[in-house]
Chains A and B, each alone.
Chain A
């Protein structure tokens, strides 16, 4: 039973990481591509971490919670790096898609 639960969360995590990476490859401009990794860092890693907590808590003697720190650190660092990347892109005036609304005001 626990194995099914662990596999489920691992698969959900992996699926979102894959979709995030797919977005990174296939979206047309830099700003859009920035959106891909946010999925990998939130639900992607989140799913795998829940799987890990369940697995090690049921196989070890004690509750294993230090995986939650991965989530905490990711939630602190991921928005900052996304922000810095976007700022650098704006500074370099990278091309954005023609149909992006308000693209000339930034």
Chain B
């Protein structure tokens, strides 16, 4: 424990408050007080689980990343839906080893989740040294192109967001 702090994770606290208000679906003053209390207490008692919390988050790139991701999910969903409805023999499945340049565990988790959420690719494994991801692709044409796409579209923006 280095120094006492009321808000060890300010963003987590803010998110907890918002989630609480959404859960009860009201903004009555009583619930704002209760939500604030939870937003202060929960991060304090779970702080030991956060081995590697992001130190800095840049909000504007994060917002842009979220919007790009939502757009990609919709486009990729339609593409994959067409693939699934077509004959299975036409698919070109592949395992791909993706070399990571990110170092923060938190950012790697986000990248792995992003890859799984965009249809067509699933993160299957993280290498033991934490320097690569094993992906499974539903229909792969060019391995290098996929790696390049993930690098440019998701990994570099994540680097920018967390400044690591």
- List A residues at the B interface (Cβ < 8 Å): 16, 19-20, 22-23, 26-29, 31-32, 34-36, 38-39, 42-43, 62, 64-66, 68-69, 72, 75-76, 78-80, 82-83, 86-87, 89-90, 96-97, 99-103, 105-106
Contact = CB atoms under 8 A, between A and B. Distances in A.
Given A42-B73, A87-B125, A96-B93, A19 B117 contact: no
B77 A82 contact: no
Given A76-B113, A102-B97, A106-B134, 12 more contacts: A31-B124, A36-B84, A43-B77, A62-B26, A64-B25, A66-B22, A75-B113, A86-B123, A100-B94, A101-B93, A101-B143, A102-B94
B35 interface: no
B160 to A, nearest CB: 21
Contact of A79 (B74, B123, B125): B123
A35 B138 contact: yes
Contact of A90 (B19, B25, B26, B125): B125
Nearest to B27: A62
Contacts of B93: 29, 31-32, 96-97, 99-101
Contact of B117 (A20, A27, A69, A79): A79
Contact of A16 (B26, B81, B120): B81
B65 interface: no
B60 interface: no
